[in-house]
Amino acid sequence: MFERVEQIERRYRELEGLLGDPGVISNQKAYHAYAKEHSSLEPVVSAYSQYRSVKEEIESNKFLLDDPDHEMRELAKEEMVRLEARFSALEKDLMLLLLPKDPNDEKNIIVEIRAGTGGDEAALFAADLFRMYLRYAEKKHWRTDILSRHETGIGGVKEIIFLVEGNGAYSRLKYESGVHRVQRVPETEAQGRIHTSTVTVAVLPEAEEVDVEINHADLRIDVYRSQGCGGQHVNTTDSAVRITHIPSGMVVTCQDEKSQHKNKAKAMKVLRSRLLEKETQEQEDRISQDRKSMVGTGDRSERIRTYNFPQSRVTDHRIGLTLYKLEFILTGELDQIIDPIITYFRSEALKKGV
């Protein structure tokens, strides 16, 4: 581990020199690339600097444990306890920082929310989850754009797909993929019985054209009249687009925009991301089935969370976390759940050494 950290530190110092080089400064492309790499290495270098500093303090403090003065020895023992705890924490931080980074962590994301079992109640909760993620994005100052939406007419959504653009969007929300269960009394329930419904959430890293190569000969593109709620353009022009990727059988539709061109662009964005997810999943399956089961992949077949309205309770089943702050969570205050989940999955990865 330390050999690798020292290599990182040497590279960090080398980059500091390059960033001060007039030739590099005049080349904006090279300068930004070096600055980005320098910034990415800084947390490791900083943690290693603190680690060495605490190690030196421990070595110095050891001499005081044999001091003739009883009071000085007691103070040295107390200080040693504090220093060793700090040393252990810094060592763990370093190991976490050296874990391979998910190449998708800094990417924008495409979020797909679909009503599952539960009929209208599931569709209403799908709309609730959409608003929850929208508010969370607003708090993070991320930009959102609806790519596709199929409403039920009573305030619910059968399916909604939207783009989230912002630094670290995938790293924060990638573990939201899965089955979200809601338990509440529907407004139409005269007996006051609690109903259980489900909604599926899929979080995909946005794929660029360089990430996924699509042969246009493999696509079948159909255009048709938009259907459902909307403005004056709905049902008047052939603006809706359906794209079928023939080799995989994937079908993507988009009808939210007045322009056929814009609908096609949005549909292609979703298709690329779905193909990237499929390719990544297949690669992970080939590499290690054991790793997938231990570390977790956010597989959408897993029931990950329950939202219980009568008890104002939210429970994440993967980490056994329960919060009695349901209304607070639904306003977009998701960090209280997301932070512990990220910590859990990083710890699991550390145990497996992946």
Please check whether residues 115 and 206 belong to one and the same domain. Answer: yes
Q: What is the pLDDT of residue 132?
A: 97
Identify which of 304, 116, 133 has the alpha carbon closest to the alpha carbon of residue 195: 116
Q: Is residue 26 part of a domain?
A: yes
Decide which of 214 and 197 is more confident: 197
What pLDDT sits at residue 283? Answer: 62
Q: Are residues 150 and 228 in the same domain?
A: no
- Average pLDDT taken over every residue of the chain: 84
Share of the chain above pLDDT 70, in %: 88
Task: Report the distance separating Cα 294 and Cα 288, nearest Å.
Answer: 10
State the total domains in the chain: 3
The amino acid at 186 = P
pLDDT number for residue 167: 86
- What is the tens place of the pLDDT at every residue in 140-176? 999 998 988 888 878 899 999 999 999 889 999 999 9
> pLDDT digits over 59-68, tens only?
888 888 888 8
- C-alpha 292, offset from chain centre: 17
What global pTM score does this model have?
0.63
Count CB atoms within 10 A of the CB of residue 44: 19
HSE of 56, CA atoms in CB hemisphere, 13 A? 6
**Do 203 and 311 belong together in one domain?**
yes
pLDDT tens, 215-273? 888 888 888 877 655 444 455 567 888 888 888 888 888 887 778 888 888 888 888 88
Q: 43 with 167, same domain?
A: no
Enter the tokens of residue 28. 């904006």
Domain check: are 27 and 83 in the same one?
yes
- Digit-coded pLDDT (tens) for 315-351: 999 999 999 999 999 999 999 999 999 888 887 877 7
Tens of pLDDT, residues 292-313? 443 334 344 568 999 999 999 9
Note whether residue 103 is domain-resident.
no
The answer to whether position 34 is within a domain reads yes
pLDDT on residue 231: 46
Does the structure show a pLDDT above 80 at 99?
no
* Higher local confidence (pLDDT), 192 or 331: 331
CA–CA distance from 267 to each of 23, 158, 159, 161, 326 (Å)?
43, 18, 14, 10, 34
The predicted structure's pLDDT at residue 296 = 39
Beta strands in the chain (DSSP E): 109-115, 143-151, 157-165, 178-184, 195-205, 219-224, 240-245, 250-254, 303-308, 313-316, 321-323
pLDDT of residue 229: 54
Strand ranges for 16-168 from DSSP E: 109-115, 143-151, 157-165
Residue 104 in any domain: the answer is no
